[in-house]
Amino acid sequence: MELPRNRFKAGLAEGRRQFGLWLNLANACCAEVTAGAGFDWLLIDGEHAPNDIQSMLAQLQVLAAYPVQPIVRIASGDAVSIKRVLDIGAQTVLVPLVESAAQARDLARAMRYPPRGIRGVASSIRAARWSRIPGYAAAADAEVCLIVQIETRAGLDALEEIAAVDGVDALFIGPSDLSANLGHLGNFRHPQAQQAIEDGIRRIRKAGKPAGILVSDDALIRRYLDLGCTFVAVGSDSALLATVTEELAAKCRALKEKTA
């Protein structure tokens, strides 16, 4: 049995555009339905969605049968949380609220085995297919991928230093939290927020790292792609379900009124 190749990380290195979707519903069946849609990657959200390690594991298991790359966002950037999601088979991890190079260095070390890092060593884990992948520990570091999320003024101020950290593979702009931190809660379209987002993308690319973002507006997707974003989340399963069910219910109400 061979170690799975991280095609998402390879795509970042090659500069390929990769589109993804947020999985907020914390449900393996929903993840599997979405897995067949044709996205390049799907993000299992452990920060704002009601996921625990068991529900993350179930979603990783169903996604493994499809040609889509999973990303796991953990709730906070502690070494234990990183170790646990890596051990259940995640290879790409998104960490929210990164604000300094020192924090980024700690995260990079938590992603890797000694001597480069501090990840705890165990053989009977899903990531190693329960010891069925020969030399897993020696090869795993090459396939792990760390994305750090920039979503505060402090993160923007330290952006170049964060991007320069060895082991940080990409930087992701969080538009909602960033705009709130800048004083525009619920309005990431505010000119100041948009200026900060666009400047952040340019600076990430100038620093030589891939830039990513979450946005569902078609015009903004094109704008951020033009600025250099190469991995973009274009929505979430929960938002899509809410939109489609509302539209269907509205059609039903219209039919009721016609027949009343």
In the chain, domain spans: 7-259
Residues sharing a CB contact under 8 Å with residue 59, sequence separation 6 or more, in sequence order: 23, 26, 27, 28, 31, 44, 51, 70
Residues sharing a CB contact under 8 Å with residue 92, sequence separation 6 or more, in sequence order: 6, 8, 9, 41, 69, 70, 71, 72, 144, 145, 146, 147
**Residue 260: its pLDDT value, please?**
64
Alpha helices in the chain (DSSP H): 7-14, 28-35, 53-63, 79-87, 101-110, 136-140, 153-157, 159-163, 175-181, 191-206, 218-227, 237-259
**Residue 258: its pLDDT value, please?**
79
Sign of CA dihedral 242, 177, 162, 114: negative
* 184 flagged as catalytic: no
The list of the chain residues with pLDDT below 70 reads 260
Q: Tokens representing 182?
A: 């800048």
**Residue 256: its pLDDT value, please?**
87
Predicted structure pTM score: 0.96
User: What whole-number distance in Å separates Cα of residue 172 and Cα of residue 254?
Assistant: 42
User: What whole-number distance in Å separates Cα of residue 86 and Cα of residue 53?
Assistant: 11
Q: Tokens representing 193?
A: 């927020």
Q: Tokens representing 169?
A: 């593979």
Q: Tokens representing 58?
A: 């179930």
User: What whole-number distance in Å separates Cα of residue 29 and Cα of residue 175?
Assistant: 29
Cα–chain center distance at 165: 19
Residues sharing a CB contact under 8 Å with residue 91, sequence separation 6 or more, in sequence order: 4, 6, 8, 9, 70, 143, 144, 145
CATH fold for domain 7-259? TIM Barrel (3.20.20)
User: What whole-number distance in Å separates Cα of residue 245 and Cα of residue 240?
Assistant: 8
Sign of CA dihedral 238, 240, 246, 252: negative
Catalytic site residue from 17, 36, 37, 48: 48
User: 145 with 112: CB under 8 angstroms?
Assistant: no
User: What whole-number distance in Å separates Cα of residue 140 and Cα of residue 137?
Assistant: 5
**Residue 259: its pLDDT value, please?**
72
